Amino acid sequence: MSDRGTPITRGNLAALRRYARPEPLERCDLCAEPIPAEHRHLLDVTARQFLCVCYACSLLFDREAASDGKYRLVSDRHLDLGGLPIDDAAWARLGVPVGMAFFAYSSPAGRMLAYYPSPMGATESEMDQAEWEALVAQQPILRTLQPDVEALLVNRARGARDAFIVPLDQCFALVGVVRQHWRGLSGGSQVWREIDAFFVALRSRSKPAPPAD
């Protein structure tokens, strides 16, 4: 190496080109307009698939009658419920075998569904509907969940007692965290650091739930 610094080689030029190359833009799934990293989603209610949408397209679906219910704009509401009045026995009666789960009403199924994040993705759990109604009776704010696009997200893993009302896409973001970082039987330390970071970020953008009437 000379005193002029690192020589420019073909490999270095390739690395510089990669560094200088702009990140590919995401595009609206409806109109193909470029969209920022932070954007809204539509849910295809029947296919249970998310579509990325630009601001203009999101406005078209910001009402229940749009598209005859085929697509619904995913909520952007984040509420911190400050925990739930539910003990281990009641949690077990809900039918959830792990400490993290989310609950959302499915219009096609006509009932509440429960899912939990797993290394294989979002896994549906057979939920006791009567136990859900008992929980709603204790927490009437759960009656405000928007069908298909909002969920109750609960974290009781490793001593946590967190509960949030969140957009459904946030639940699947958590599923992605678990799938990406899970290692071995217990998950490994990295996945739990990522899960903790997810809930710290979620808490920072959530508003406290309003007091019950």
Which pLDDT band holds residue 17 (cuts at 50, 70, 90)? low
Whether the pLDDT of residue 2 is over 50: the answer is: no
Q: How far is CA 123 from the centre of its chain?
A: 14
Task: Compute how many other C-beta atoms are within 10 angstroms of the C-beta atom of residue 199.
Answer: 18
Q: pLDDT value at position 170? A: 96
| Average pLDDT of the chain to the nearest whole number | 86
Stretch 33-47: mean pLDDT: 92
Q: Which token pair is 135?
A: 């929980």
Q: pLDDT value at position 8? A: 42
Alpha-carbon dihedral of residues 120, 121, 127, 132, nearest 10 degrees? 150
Q: Decide if 78 contacts 165 (C-beta within 8 A).
A: yes
Q: pLDDT value at position 88? A: 87
Q: pLDDT value at position 82? A: 85
Whether the pLDDT of residue 10 is over 70: the answer is: no
Parallel, antiparallel, or unpaired: how do β-strands 207-208 and 79-80 relate? parallel
Percent pLDDT > 90 in the chain is 64
Mutual orientation of helices 188-204 and 168-181 as an angle, nearest 10°? Answer: 160
